[in-house]
Every structure is written in structure tokens, then in C-alpha cells.
Chains A and B, each alone.
Chain A
Amino acid sequence: MFQQTSYSEQLTFFQKLRSFDYILLLCIISIGVISGFSMYSTDGGELLYHSKSHIIRLVIFFTMMICFSFFSIKFWHSVGYLFYVLVLGLLIMASLYGVSASGSQRWVSLYFINLQPSELMKIAIIIFYAKFYHRMQISHVNNFKNLLIPSAILILPILLVASQPDLGTAILIALSGLVVLWLAGLHIRYFVYSSLALIISMPFIVSFLEPYQKLRVLTFFNPERDPLGAGYQIIQSKIAVGSGGLTGKGFLKGTQSYLEFLPEKHTDFIFTLFSEEHGFTGSVIILLIYAIMVFRITRIGTIARSSFAKLFCYSFASAIFIYVSINMSMVLGLLPIVGSPLPIMSYGGSSLLATMIGFSVVMSSKIYHRQSIS
């Protein structure tokens, strides 16, 4: 066993800078710019509260992401558990002293920012699992004993988030965790069993759902059931997208959003707004950028030497993909409306922060891809 060379000490600042993944960076920047303009459009073509704060956050968190990228992958590995514990602590805080808004208690008030810990949990769970399975052999993964801890780790935040109540984020956290479990080599039968269990317990779960959540599910299956009530969002969103046509109505000319027919246009329905203004062409371009993003992150995972970096990159790429596809399917009427933001595009500091932290880890994996973690 030869002494592993630590590359990080040998890399100069410029070498590090050079080994950034510029294609990925370009994707992030272009989505950032597009989101800036979209936010400007949601404010009715003026630089108002939403657009201003979104652009400021973009700049701050992007800079932060660049800085964090210089942290070695070892660092990320070492803080893996700590980060999870920290976020979990915040989640508990949120459920105890959290700030309520529109019927759910999701936010904790820090001095400078109202943080939504559930968003951070989406990334924390991935880092935790990546570290947990980093050194574990496949045969050990499927040990019943080794299943208990990860299950507890996953179920605890899900329960906390679901009780806020925030079903959408809870589902996204669950999916993020499941992706890592799948990649870590968890036997396929566990997935089959648990999904069977889920299906069987479905009626039981449904009875626990809040009335508004039940309504949303029902509405999804038939939006015209109540066109002015719960189905309104889906119908208006489909109208907005559909009326965009091939090239869209033009920047700042989306009537559906401009005339306030579109609900939640800053957050969950930002893609609808973009799609209305820029049409099929614009939508496909955005989708392509996200696809390239996912592809690039996956590639970094492929070249990364440590299985921590590999697991993280693969899982993060999949998580980004899941967020994007769930959000788009939702606004296009393919899935029920659950609160799920579009990464980078949607308004919301916590989500942006979590995504940027994820990108930092990915960048760090790229810069230190030759580094393995002992």
C-alpha cells in the first residue's frame, strides 16, 4: 500500500481555477440569467422586490458556490454528518419556533435570512448517505442491521417536514434519499417491498392527508371538476403554456402571468411564465440546459475517484433531474400540484442556497477528482 499523494496540496490556485467544469458553470450562469429575466417579468417589467432580491441572492450564492468549490472533497466528506445534524436541528427548530406562513410552519428566522431547513435537508440527506455508504461494501449494504440507521436518518426529516405540513418537500427529500440508496447498491427487493407496502398503506395515508391535499390529488385527476377552485392553477398554467405556441408571446408579454391569471408565478410556476413568453423553443432550450447540467454532473461523478464524490455527484444529478421533471410535469398538468421549486429558476433563498451548496460539492469533486478519501 503506497502512500497516497495528496494532490490538493500540490494544486496551485490557477490549476484549481482551470479545472473548474466550465460547461457546468455556463449552464448555471445561463439558468441564473434566464431566471433573473423571468423574475423581472413576474414583477411586471419592473425591478421590484422579487426580481431584486432574487438577483442579489443569485449573485451572493453563486459567489459563495465558487468559493466553496475550493474546499477539498475531504472537507465535504468530513462535514457530512455534521451538516445533516445541523439541518435536522434547524428542522426541529422550525417545528418548534418556526415562522408560519400560509398555513404551514416551514421557516426559521435567522438574523439575515428566513431559512427553510427542509430545502437544505434535500442536499444534507445526500451528503449524509454519500458519506455513510462511502466505505461500505455492497454485501454490508444489504445487511438488515445496516438498514436501520439509514432508514431512521431518512424517515426522521420526512416526518418533520410532512408535519409542517409540506408534502411536496417531504416527497422530494424521500426521493433524494432513495436515489442514493439505489445507487449504493441496496437490493432491488427492498424497493419492491417498500413500494408494495406503500401502495397497501395508501388508503391509510390518504386518511392522514390534509383536506387541501386530498383536494389537490382529486383535482389533478380532473382539473375541470372545480375550475375556479382547486383546479384553477392547473387550468391556468396549461392555458399559459399552450398559448405560448412555438415562439411564445414575447418577453414581458405573457398575458396570463402579467394579468395575474397565473398563480405562484414567482415560485412553482416560473417555468409556466417562461414557457408562455418564449414558447416551445424557449422551453426546450431550458430543458436542454438542465439536461446538459445533469449530464455534466454525472460525468464528474464518473471521473471522480472517491466513491463519496461519485455517489454524491450521481445522486445530486439525479436529484436535480427529479426536481426539474417533477416541477415541469406539475405545471404541465402531468402530476398533481405539490410545492416543488424549479432549481435556480424559482424564487426562494433556501432552495437556491441548497442547490448552490450541491454545486460546490460537485465542483470540488471535479477539482479534486483524483483525490481519494482515506
Chain B
Amino acid sequence: MFDSSDTAFKKLNTINRRMFILSAAKAVVFTGIIARLFSLQINENKKYLTLSDKNRLREWRLPPVRGEFLDYFGNVIAGNLKVYQLHVVPEQVENFKYLMLRLKDILELDDKEFLEIIKKKNSQKPWETLIISENLSWDQFSKINFFLHELGGAKPVLSVARNYPFNKTFTHVLGYVAQASENDLINNEIIKKNHVPGLRVGKIGLEKTFENDLLGTNGVQRYEVNAYGKRINQLDHKEGEKGKNIKLTLDTEVQKFSNELLAEKSGSISVMDIYTGEIIAMHSSPSFDPNLFFYGISTKNWKEIRENPLKPLLNKTVSGLYSPGSTIKPLVALSALENDVISPTQKVYCTGKMEMYGHTYHCWKEKGHKSMDLRSAIKQSCDVYFYETARKLGVDRLNLTALKFGLGHTVLKGTLANEKKGLVPSTKWKKNNLGVGWVLGETLITGIGQGYIQTTPLQLCLMTAQLANGGFKIYPRITVDKDQESLESIKYKMVQGAFKEKEKLYASPLRKVEEFLKMGTNEYHPLFRNPENVKFVLEAMFGSTNEFMGTSYKSRIEDPKYQFAGKTGTSQVKRITEEARELDLDISEIPYEERDHALYIAFGPYKNPRYALSVIIEHGGTGSSAAAPIAKKLFKLIIDRHELREKIKNKNSIKT
């Protein structure tokens, strides 16, 4: 008994001892668990909170609303159109296959379109919106709505799309938008920041240039989602900011009329305010409809545009390079007068050709102009007179004058991509680039705007404007700036500049070209030495249009309100062979590609000029027959629109 109670005691002892060891272990483990809780919940709380938010919050970015383009009068020329779209979020659809087959039926999708959608669906996450159709017709939209109760998961949505209400009228200026490509994202941080699938960005033209202003910012919808990505509730909706509207200096009416005038033709029209540099119209023909690109252009349309021999894709106004032909003559005359190589009264006898080192240089008038002074040489566009003048002037002095008046460098300073600089040759240029010395014969043909010299239509327009305003530098622009200087202030500056120039005249007779290029945009510096020379040239241009025997006499307007002065040009595409000269073919008998380009530059109204223009008709024949009549029609409209424009200008300036 005693023994047994002893063993019982021993047993009890063992149990209690071992229990004590266990209890100690338990205390340690519980402490460990509390330590773990502390480390997770207190020490690393921030990290796990972030992770938990990352789990549950998902943002849906909405495409930004693109800013609009307005013309000078506030009309929308590139706007946003409400479109009906059909969206499906695959994960919210019970039976996707069934839904798709129903939709295929209702929307009358063909197999190719259908497969395209299925492919798109497989490439994205199930909670991402699948756009079935980006542009439902009203018929389709109402049909969808009618069947909506059996189309669980399909969502008809009202969205916005870029729209160009004037179709092809502004295409080369505005460009177009299309889906952002990989390259767009790489090259533009702002696009990358605001990118959502299906975002349209500017591809060319001003749409591309002003992309960052136009784009706007994303709207953001923040949703709480569950583990399966399903949206549980909307936490936040932030409206995106619409992109900035951009007002252009263009006049839709003039632009539209330019389109009409160049219909079926290949060519370009530019119209510019000779003081403010505002571009009133700028058109390159043929054009195409930029709306085609929004939903991705069809291969058929694209092929049509690309393979058109009249090259609709080329913006001829800034990227087309042409020999200026006789339109350069006023500038050659001015250069010669400024450099005192000839006097206005100097006579040259034109026999219809000129011999020089064994080469014969022809005048356009086979029989010759007989005795010509400078004024009549400009008026009748006598080539021989300008061969002689150019010979005396030399190509390098002509080069300086041409550069000063805006040839040889871009007019819009990069506002439009692909703007060409053109080429004004000099002896140095030829040596550096062709490795051969300059030949005197080349000087002669440069004097009539042939040979190496290449200009864009917009450069010719700027040159005309800078002559027409009395010979002062202006700054062409296509957007309406808030800090645009007033007409009065510009004119005042010009007068002051001319006055200063007179004083400097004695110090250095010729200013360097570089100085002109470096000048700020608010300096309207004189480009001449003697204002009388400019006046003389302008007066001669008046003769060319408004006096009998003038080359564009047929296109004159006698009403002083519309009366303008201009200069024709016909630029050769192909060297005229002696045989061809003998034949003297009619234009319709020459193959299209070999016909001359027709050019015309003009400014008006003559008494108090405000506008300058240039017209180029590719392979149009002579300037006087093809280009000048277009300028005549256009001038009427430009002058008619003038008053309205001035009114808007005052309104604009009051606003700012």
C-alpha cells in the first residue's frame, strides 16, 4: 500500500513535471506568435496595406477628349463627333459564344470581322472592355437596343470620335488621327502617359505638331474589384481634362474655294496676310478625306490614295519643290537695283535669244521683245533682259537677296513636319555639294528661275508678301496667338525700322543674311536698302497684270477694290529640245508629265495691299493661262472676306 502510494506519488510528480515543461513551451510558442503578429501588423503594416490596396483597387482610364481645331471665325474644322459604340466585358457575359453569335447576326458581321473580334478578345484580359463595334450606324444601334434584353453583357455606349466636318478641305494642314502605334508611345511621353487601348493620336500635320496640347488627360474611374477582377463598386470618377482647342488663322470659305479651284488638278494655293503673316488659306491638291483614317483605312482606299499619280499624300504647299520660273523676276530685279548693277532705265534689246559661250538661251517669245527697259521686262516677262541682268548681278548677290526674302529656309519653322527648305544656289553651294565650279550659263537660267533653284509654293507666297508690304520681314503663322501684335504696331515698327536702316546705310551698305535670320519675331525689319527699289518692282508687277501687253492682263480686275498686281511664271519640267521648239506644240499635244508647271504670285488690293498669294498648277501649262485666272477668282473672295475678318480680329483682340 505504502509502496503503491509511493509510486502513485512518483507518477503524479512525473505528470506535473512534464506538464510544467509543456507549459513553458506553450508560453514560448504563444509569445512567438504574438511577435509574428507584431512584425506583420505593426512593423510591416504599410507594405501589406499597399499590397492589399493593389489587390482590390483597379483603375480604368478613359480616353481623353481631344481638343478641337477652329478656323479664324471660330468654326470647328476638326471636332469630336458623338458615335455609338458597342462594348462587351467578356467576364461579365454568361455565355460569350452565344452572345457573339447573336451579335454577328444582328450587326451582320462577315466572318472576317467576326474572327478579328474573337482574336482581339483572346489577346486581352477578361475584365477589359472589348469593343465590338466602334461606329454603329443608327440602324444597328436601335436594333441592338431593341434586342438588348437578350444580349446580357452587351453595352451600347455613347463615345466621341474625331471628325473633320469639311472632309478633305483641310487635310494637308490638319493631318489626321489614327490609333497610336508602338512608335508614338516610344517617342512621346505624354501619349504614353495618357494611353488607353484605342487612343487616337495625330499622325501628320498640325494634329501631330500640337499633339501634346490637343491630347487632354485621361478620365479615371477607380473601382474596387474582387479576387476575380469583377468590379464591385465604383469608388471614384475623375473627369479627364479636354485637350486645348487650337484656333487657326485659316478662313474656311477661302480654303473651301481653293479646294474648288484646284479640283481635278494637281497643285497648291497659299494666301497670306502681308503684315501679320497669318496664313489665310493653304491647300494642296488633290486632297483626301482624313475621316477615313479614324477607324483604320481600308486597303482599297489606301491603295487608291497611295497610287494616285497626282500624289495626294504630298503636302505640295510646303513639301513640293518647284522651279519658281518667272515669278522670281521681281526679286532678281530688286536685287539688281539694290546692288546698283542696273538702273530702271537701262535698255536691253531682246531678239528672242541670247548667245553665251556657244550656248543659245531663248526668250519665251520667239520673235523677241525688241527694246526693253526694266519695267517692261518685268511686265512682259522678258527672259533675255533677265539673262543680261543676272549676268551683271551674279548668282551670289541674287542668293543673298533671295535668302532675305524667305527662299531657302522653311517658312513655318517646323510647325508642319516635312516642310522643305528648298534651294537657292550660290557658287559656294555648288562647289561644296556638287564639287564643280559655277558656270556663267547657270547664272543666266537662275535669273529666270530655272536650274538649281527650288522653292515651295509657301515660300513664293511669303516672298510676294514681303515685297508687297514694302520690303519688310514678316513672320508667317497658322495659329492665332494671344500675343499677336496689332496691325498698327506692326506698321509702326516697319516705319521705324526703315528709318533706322537709312541711318545705318552709310555705315554698312549690306546687312548680313544671318542677322535677319537671328532676329526675334517682333522685329519687322526692312529687307531693302532703298525703299524706292521695292516700290519700283511693285509698280512693274502692277503693269504686268493691269496694263495691255502685261502677261496676266487677261486676269485683271479693274475695280480698285479688288485690283491686284502679280507675276506669272511657267516653269519647265523638261529641257526643251530644239526640235520641240521648232514644233511649238499645243499644250494638249504634250504628255501630262512633260507639261510645264503654271505659277502665279500676286498681292492686292493694289492701292493698299493686305494679302499675297501664290498659285501653282502642276503641269498646267503657262502661268498666264492656268494659274492667273485662278488667282483672279480667289482675290474676289479674299477681299470680300476682308471686312468680316477685320471685325473678328477686333473681337479676338478685345477678348485677350
Q: Do chains A and B stick together as partners?
A: yes
**A residues apposed to B, CB below 8 Å:** 1, 137-139, 179, 182-185, 236, 238-246, 255-256, 259-261, 275, 279-280, 283-284, 287, 291, 294, 298, 301-302, 307, 310-311, 314, 318, 321, 325, 328-329, 332, 334
For residue B33, which residues in chain A have a CB less than 8 angstroms away from its CB?
287, 325, 328-329, 332, 334
Q: Is the CB of A301 within 8 A of B19?
A: yes
Residues of chain A lying within 8 A (CB to CB) of residue B55: 236, 239, 255-256, 259, 261
Please indicate the chain A residues that have their CB under 8 angstroms from the CB of B18 in the complex. 182-183, 185
Known: A246-B45, A260-B228, A275-B37. 11 other contacts (CB 8 A): A239-B51, A241-B40, A245-B42, A259-B232, A280-B38, A310-B12, A314-B22, A318-B26, A325-B26, A332-B37, A334-B36
Do the beta carbons of B49 and A314 come within 8 Å of each other?
A: no
Judge whether B224 and A255 touch: CB under 8 Å: yes
Q: How many Å from the CB of B5 to the closest CB on chain A?
A: 11
A-B contact pairs, 16 of them (CB 8 A): A1-B1, A182-B22, A183-B22, A240-B52, A242-B49, A243-B52, A245-B45, A245-B49, A261-B55, A261-B227, A280-B38, A287-B30, A325-B30, A325-B33, A329-B33, A332-B40
Knowing A259-B55, A284-B34, the reply to whether A137 touches B7 (Cβ < 8 A) is yes
Chain B residue nearest to A290 (CB atoms) is: B30
A302 to B19, CA, bound (A): 10
Q: Is B47 an interface residue (CB 8 A)?
A: yes
Chain B residues positioned under 8 Å from A243 (CB to CB)? 45, 48-49, 51-52
A244 to chain B, nearest CB (A): 5
- A325 and B29 contact, CB distance less than 8 A: yes
Nearest B residue to A255 via CB reads B56
Q: How far is the CA of A202 from the CA of B12 in the complex (A)?
A: 35
Q: Is the CB of A183 within 8 A of B15?
A: yes
Beta-carbon contact of B36 and A311 below 8 Å: no
User: Is B10 among interface residues, defined by CB-CB distance under 8 A?
Assistant: yes
Chain B residues closer than 8 Å to A298, beta-carbon distance:
19, 23
Of all A-B residue pairs in the complex, the 6 with the closest CB atoms, nearest first, are A242-B48, A243-B52, A259-B226, A260-B227, A280-B41, A242-B40
Q: Which of B405-444 contact A (CB under 8 A)?
A: none
**In the complex, how many angstroms separate the beta carbon of B622 from the nearest chain A beta carbon?**
76
Contact string against A for B residues 50-74, beta-carbon threshold 8 Å, 1 for contact and 0 otherwise:
0110011000000000000000000
B41, A279: Cβ atoms closer than 8 Å: yes
Q: Mark B547-572, 1 if CB is under 8 A from A, else 0.
A: 00000000000000000000000000
Contacts of B226 on A, CB cut-off 8 Å? 259-261
Q: Which chain A residues border B37 with CB–CB below 8 Å?
A: 241, 275, 280, 283-284, 287, 332
CB pair A302–B16 under 8 Å, yes or no, is yes
Complex Cα distance A15/B48, Å?
Answer: 52
| Contact in complex: A275, B11 (CB < 8 Å) | no
Residues of B with C-beta under 8 A to A139: 7
CA distance A251 to B314 in the complex (A): 68
Across the interface, A291 reaches (CB within 8 A) one of B22, B30, B41, namely B30
> DSSP majority for the B interface?
helix
B7 CB contacts on chain A under 8 angstroms: 137-139
B: number of interface residues (CB 8 Å): 40
Min Cβ gap A74→B in Å is 18
Q: B residues within 8 A CB of A238?
A: 40, 48
B44 an interface residue at 8 Å Cβ cutoff?
yes
Nearest-neighbor residue (CB-CB) of A247 within chain B: B41
Please state if A185 and B41 are interface contacts (CB–CB under 8 Å). no
Bound complex: CA A294 to CA B30 (Å): 11
> Which chain B residue has the least Cβ–Cβ distance from A310?
B15
A314 to B22, CA, bound (A): 9
In the complex, what residues of A have CB within 8 A of residue B26's CB? 294, 318, 321, 325
Complex-state Cα separation, A255 to B48, whole angstroms: 12
Cα(A243)–Cα(B52), bound, Å: 7
Q: Is B14 an interface residue (CB 8 A)?
A: yes
Q: CA A182 – CA B36 in complex, angstroms?
A: 28
Decide if A185 touches B14 in the complex (CB within 8 Å). Answer: yes
- What residues of chain B lie closer than 8 Å to A241, measured between beta carbons? 37, 40-41, 48
Max chain B Cβ within 10 angstroms of own Cβ: one of A139, A184, A259, A261 = A259
Q: Which residue of A lies closest to B55 (CB)?
A: A261
In the complex, which residues of chain B have a beta carbon less than 8 angstroms from the beta carbon of A291? 30
* B19: contacting residue among A314, A328, A334, CB under 8 A: A314
In the assembled complex, which residues on chain A have CB atoms less than 8 Å from the CB atom of B12?
A: 307, 310
The digit string for B99-132, where 1 denotes a CB below 8 A from any CB of A, is 0000000000000000000000000000000000
Q: A302-B16, A307-B11, A332-B36 are in contact. Are A255 and B22 (CB under 8 A)?
A: no
Whether a CB of chain A sits under 8 angstroms from the CB of B225 is yes
Partner of B52, one of A246, A255, A311, A328: A255
CA distance A261 to B52 in the complex (A): 9
Closest CB-CB distance, B510 to chain A, in whole Å? 76
A2 to chain B, nearest CB (A): 12
A301-B42 Cα distance, complex, nearest whole Å: 37
CB proximity of A234 to chain B, nearest CB, Å: 12
How many angstroms between the C-alpha atoms of A311 and B12 in the bound complex?
10
Given contacts A138-B14, A255-B55, A279-B41, whether A242 and B36 have CB atoms under 8 Å apart is no
Cα-based distance from A334 to B7 in the complex (angstroms) = 42
Known: A291-B30, A301-B19, A329-B33. A245 touches B41 (CB 8 A): yes
Cα of A334 to Cα of B40 in the assembled complex, Å: 12
CB-CB nearest in chain A for B225: A259
Which residues in A have their C-beta under 8 angstroms from that of B227? Answer: 259-261
What distance in Å separates the Cβ of A180 from its nearest Cβ neighbour in chain B? Answer: 10
User: Within the complex, which residue of B10, B32, B225 is in contact with A138, where a contact is CB–CB below 8 Å?
Assistant: B10
Q: B15 contacts A185, CB within 8 Å?
A: yes
Q: Chain A contacts of B34 at CB under 8 A?
A: 284, 287
Distance to closest chain A CB from B318 (angstroms): 55
- Asked whether, in the complex, the Cβ of B30 is within 8 Å of the Cβ of A307, the reply is no
A253 to B1: give the CA distance in the assembly, Å: 65
**Neighbouring B residues of A334 by C-beta, 8 Å:** 32-33, 36
Task: Give the docked Cα–Cα distance between A259 and B223 (Å).
Answer: 12
Nearest chain-A residue to B41 (Cβ)? A280
Interfacial chain A residues near B36, Cβ < 8 Å: 329, 332, 334
Question: Who on chain A is nearest to B49 by CB?
Answer: A243
Mark interface residues in B213-243 (1 if CB within 8 Å of A CB, else 0).
0000000000011111000100000000000
How far in angstroms is the closest Cβ of chain B from A325? 5
**A298-B22 Cα distance, complex, nearest whole Å:** 11
State the CA gap A242–B37 with chains docked (Å).
Answer: 8
Q: How far is the CB of A290 from chain B (nearest CB, A)?
A: 8
Closest to A237 in B: B40
Docked complex Cα distance between A83 and B217 (Å) = 73
**Closest chain A CB from B160 CB (angstroms):** 33
Instruction: Tell me the bound Cα distance from A244 to B47 in angstroms.
Output: 11
Residue of A243, A311, A318 most packed against chain B (CB within 10 A): A243
Shortest B23–chain A CB gap in Å is 7
